[in-house]
Chains A and B, each alone.
Chain A
Amino acid sequence: DQQVKQNSPSLSVQEGRISILNCDYTNSMFDYFLWYKKYPAEGPTFLISISSIKDKNEDGRFTVFLNKSAKHLSLHIVPSQPGDSAVYFCAAPPAGGTSYGKLTFGQGTILTVHP
């Protein structure tokens, strides 16, 4: 049962343009979402998060949008840079804030930013 889904395995973008990574979820009880970035042979690193009480959270070039009615979130990277090339995972902990370390991850999207 894939509760968090990233349906696009890969995305290719030109440097300077916007990258939009999408994530859908099925569990309406999820109330917090995170995006992680992962380079090959390294562990995931936290990028940005959003609580379900918000519909947008921005941090520099990264913005996450949450559409609760559609059970959809997206990560926007503007402008995209070659160093952003990595695998991006969306993730959600169990509802209620009892165990933020027990994350359900999507399958990941490989972002390639071309110079």
Chain B
Amino acid sequence: NAGVMQNPRHLVRRRGQEARLRCSPMKGHSHVYWYRQLPEEGLKFMVYLQKENIIDESGMPKERFSAEFPKEGPSILRIQQVVRGDSAAYFCASSPQGNSGNTIYFGEGSWLTVV
């Protein structure tokens, strides 16, 4: 049973370009969470999605960031017009349901570098 798959693992973008990060949850999981880890900091919640629905986006920056989890295919975190401050590790996690206690599984992360 494959774990949470994230790609790309590393992404380099120039300022002003777009970054797209993909996350395929574990098989049977319908809930996806995105987190961001800035250098020297802990992980910060960004957004919680179910298939075709954004449940909680309280951690998303108001501009340039968006997320989706379509009926088919992976969840995508999209960052438009990237700036240097967007350089971070982005982690996706999934769970079979939203109130599943400790059964939230993280992917290995996508490292975004903005140059």
Residues of A near any B CB (own CB < 8 A):
4, 6, 32, 34, 36, 41-46, 49, 89, 91, 97-108
Partner of A103, one of B4, B45, B98, B105: B45
For chain B, the count of residues having a C-beta within 8 Å of the partner chain is 28
**Given A99-B56, A101-B33, A108 and B42 contact (CB-CB distance below 8 Å):** yes
Nearest CB in chain B: distance from A7 CB, A: 12
Interface pairs (23), CB distance under 8 Å: A36-B106, A41-B108, A41-B111, A42-B108, A43-B4, A43-B93, A44-B43, A44-B106, A91-B43, A98-B99, A99-B99, A100-B95, A100-B99, A100-B102, A101-B31, A101-B33, A101-B48, A101-B93, A101-B104, A104-B45, A105-B44, A107-B40, A107-B41
Nearest CB in chain A: distance from B84 CB, A: 21
Closest 5 CB pairs of A and B: A43-B106, A105-B42, A101-B33, A105-B43, A107-B42
Q: CB-CB < 8 A to B69: which residues of A?
A: none
B100 on interface, CB distance cutoff 8 Å: yes
Q: Are A101 and B95 neighbours in the complex by a CB distance under 8 Å? A: yes
**Given A43-B106, A99-B56, A49 and B43 contact (CB-CB distance below 8 Å):** no
Report B33-68 CB contacts with A as 1/0, cut-off 8 Å: 101000011111100100000011000000000000
**Given A41-B109, A101-B93, A103-B43, A46 and B102 contact (CB-CB distance below 8 Å):** yes
Partner of B98, one of A41, A44, A45, A100: A100
Q: Are A98 and B107 neighbours in the complex by a CB distance under 8 Å? A: no
Q: CB-CB < 8 A to B40: which residues of A?
A: 107
